[in-house]
Structure 1
Amino acid sequence: MVSAKKNINSRPVSSSSSINVSDSSVLIETLVLDDKQQHFKNHVSSLRLRASDAPSSSTISAGAKEQKAEGNNHKNVSLAPSSASSKLDDKFLYTKRYEQVKISFSWHILKTKFIYYVLSLGLVCKIMYYVQNFFINILKVGKIPTHVSFIMDGNRRYAKKLRLPIASGHNAGSLTLYAMVYICKRIGVKALSVYAFSIENFNRSKEEVDTLMALLVQRLDEFVKHTIDEKDQLYGCSIKIIGDRSYFTQDIKRKIERVEKSSAKDHCDFTLYVCCPYTSRNEIYHSLKKNVEKVIEHELEINDIGESTLTNNMFYQQGDDYCVNKCDLLIRTSGHTRLSDYMAWQSHENSTIVFSPTLWPDFTFTEVFFIMFKWSFFATLQQIKVPFTLHSSLYGHFQYLLFYSKSPLKRQNNVSLESLPAPPKSLSIVERN
């Protein structure tokens, strides 16, 4: 298991290996095994120290007799046994807690070792890789969302569930983000945005905020290395940091600017938008402020301010051939059914919002496939204009396929005249003998 950990730590996410396209939860559990072991050792040592500080029952009675013989007052005599008995109760609680942690940790290690051993087999990795490619090709038959966004929620609960430090939960969540980036890139998504850090998260403890900022810079540097590696699947991709950077320190600002400059591409087929620190209210405020400044500087008339001018001044920018100011599919993990002040402007028009009960570190390819398959199914129905109402039945659909289509097995694209592009103004024909 030690050799397995070293191999994975040397390559957090590899494009040539199938570990990056396998079950991301297994990769996470293996990579944070060191944190679990260290946390477990520290916890056990603290339990032993506290238990050793508790005196035995014979020592308690002897101490009480000595205090009574020396003529101590009644108050001191009554306090000595109660204090010692509380220590004995603490010793019992520490011992019980030690047994619970030991059982939970041992079972998790055995499960992680077994799953990682199965995935380390070359044949299993190849099978999983081809199975994922098969399901990805199924998604590509239908419509693919252009802009997908994730609200990465559940890192802290994931750490508490496994009795780990909070930092280990955030580290596990960052590894899941790596897996989702590769999966979305392979599916054909043009833009992927993630809610990494809210402005309200600065109200958390300074230690957790510093840990998140350090982890952000570390993962951004690793992502840039993948974008400049010609053998990597993320080669040629771009990354942009979205949010109010006034909350950052000067050192973090310089590092973020360096990362964006290193991954800046004029034309790229995939862009990762990291929202940090970000809220929708702050984004709308900045857009309004820019429009007012343009009016003051006589660059814009006040009557020209509208929906389009507000949209163009948002943190999100227009892509080469798509608009990232419109979110097609928004997914929030961990079971909470709220947006938490995220993408209120971008998810207003024909956007699908999905709330998954799975914690973000446990989010896998299977979850993404079923969510996108459902989205693609209904989006394709709307695109080909098949009669689909709440009152229609399965019999009606079969009747439509049998009597109104030429072949039930042949896919047909019903095209209306309004959807066709305008005819060319001029046409040139060259005849060759």
Structure 2
Amino acid sequence: MSSGISQLLEQIHEFSRRCLFRVISVGPLPIHLAFIMDGNRRYAKKRGLEDGSGHKVGFSALMSMLQYCYELGIKYVTIYAFSIDNFRRKPEEVKSLMNLMLEKIKSLLDKESIVHEYGIRVHFIGNFALLSDQVRAAAEEVMEATAKNSRVLLLVCVAYNSTDEIVQAVKKSCTNKLVEHSEGRDRDIERIQLVNIEETMQMRVAPGPDILIRSSGETRRSNFLLWQTGSSQLFSPDALWSEIGLRHLVWTILNFQRSHSYLEKKKKKPL
């Protein structure tokens, strides 16, 4: 009996959500959402849970958020999964997080996972040389397995920070310039243009985020997508990432719609 009631309530909740999304979709929707998933450790401490439990709950929150984005028709979602700076934490904590990351990456390969259910392509961004062989191999396997999916592109920034991405892009641009000059395709060897750097950025696979969401009420960007978020709207709900849910996403999109015309004018304004 209780199982039947739970199923009915779930159906009502899903129907209500779809009706809400249909109303929201009348207005302009963001193409690209980026998330800094802050507060998992604080969530575990707040609830008296063991280390790592907050990140597991946070993973469930991410899966729900991906489902909502799919239902809304949002094409790009970027998450800050692990910063290069996080490697400075205690070795045992880094090892625990890497093991958890490996487990969750492998779970994306399951036929029943949300990635396959919704046709989500997964693309990892970051300095792969800093990852363990197992994590790197799992990430590459997921990218290959989802390469043909096209409904949503999930960009996972791991062993990443923005300054590292920019430095690597500049180095690659200089290398490309030298090659083109040696082959006689570019005589102006001294001039690196903006387009040269943008073409070598790892995040070139997606347009800049319309909205950057950081949970737990923090407003710092923490060296995340500094190049790409110059015109992005910032939103900082007080909820820890493990607590984030549908209402926070809806409120974010409503705020985006309210200021959409201003943001579009700002993007088009010449430098």
* TM-score between the two structures when normalised by the length of structure 1: 0.56
The separation in 2 between residues aligned to 1:333 and 1:248, in whole angstroms, is 25
SS in 2 for 1:373: helix
SS in 1 for 2:82: coil
Out of 187, 197, 211, the residue aligned to residue 310 of structure 1 is 197
The alignment status of 1:284 with 2:166, answered yes or no, reads yes
Counterpart position of 2:157: 275
Letter in 2 for 1:302: I
Counterpart position of 1:9: none
SS in 2 for 1:240: strand
Distance 1:140 1:251, change over 3 A: same
Residue 337 of structure 1, CA deviation: 1.4
Aligned residues of 1:159 and 1:169 also touching (Cα < 8 A): yes
Larger Rg: 1
Residue 317 of structure 1, CA deviation: 3.0
Letter in 2 for 1:333: S
Q: CA RMSD in A?
A: 2.3
Residue 229 of structure 1, CA deviation: 8.3
SS in 2 for 1:225: coil
Out of 260, 273, 295, the residue aligned to residue 143 of structure 2 is 260
Letter in 1 for 2:73: G
Residue 118 of structure 1, CA deviation: 9.4
Counterpart position of 1:202: 87
Counterpart position of 1:152: 37
Distance 1:303 1:256, change over 3 A: same
117-126 vs 178-187, greater mean Cα deviation? 117-126
Aligned residues of 1:148 and 1:192 also touching (Cα < 8 A): yes
The separation in 2 between residues aligned to 1:228 and 1:173, in whole angstroms, is 16
Counterpart position of 2:253: 372
Aligned residues of 1:118 and 1:124 also touching (Cα < 8 A): no
Aligned residues of 1:227 and 1:237 also touching (Cα < 8 A): no
The separation in 2 between residues aligned to 1:136 and 1:296, in whole angstroms, is 50
Counterpart position of 2:229: 347
Out of 202, 223, 242, the residue aligned to residue 361 of structure 1 is 242
Counterpart position of 1:240: 123
Counterpart position of 1:184: 69
Higher strand share: 2
Residues 205-262 of structure 1: CA distance to partner in whole angstroms, max 9, x if unpaired? 22221221122222222223358889x641x220011001110122222221111111
> Pairwise mapping of residues 344-423 of structure 1 onto structure 2 (< 5 A)?
344-348=226-230, 350-379=231-260
Number of aligned residue pairs? 259
The separation in 1 between residues aligned to 2:68 and 2:4, in whole angstroms, is 18
Aligned residues of 2:75 and 2:152 also touching (Cα < 8 A): yes
Residue 148 of structure 1, CA deviation: 0.4
The separation in 1 between residues aligned to 2:252 and 2:169, in whole angstroms, is 32
Counterpart position of 1:293: 175
Residues 70-123 of structure 1: CA distance to partner in whole angstroms, max 9, x if unpaired? xxxxxxxxxxxxxxxxxxxxxxxxxxxxxxxxxxxxxxxxxxxxxxx7996122
The separation in 2 between residues aligned to 1:303 and 1:351, in whole angstroms, is 32
Gap runs ≥5 in structure 1: 1-116, 319-323, 386-433
Identical amino acids, percent of aligned pairs: 29
Aligned residues of 1:195 and 1:275 also touching (Cα < 8 A): yes
Counterpart position of 1:170: 55
Aligned residues of 2:178 and 2:189 also touching (Cα < 8 A): no
Q: Does 1 or 2 have the higher relative contact order (CA < 8 Å, sep 6+)?
A: 2
Residue 296 of structure 1, CA deviation: 2.5
Distance 1:294 1:133, change over 3 A: same
The separation in 2 between residues aligned to 1:228 and 1:252, in whole angstroms, is 19
The separation in 2 between residues aligned to 1:293 and 1:120, in whole angstroms, is 63
Aligned residues of 2:165 and 2:202 also touching (Cα < 8 A): yes
Counterpart position of 1:329: 211
The separation in 1 between residues aligned to 2:31 and 2:114, in whole angstroms, is 25
The separation in 2 between residues aligned to 1:169 and 1:229, in whole angstroms, is 20
The alignment status of 1:214 with 2:96, answered yes or no, reads no
* TM-score between the two structures when normalised by the length of structure 2: 0.88
Letter in 1 for 2:92: E
Counterpart position of 2:8: 123
Residue 289 of structure 1, CA deviation: 0.6
The separation in 2 between residues aligned to 1:338 and 1:215, in whole angstroms, is 25
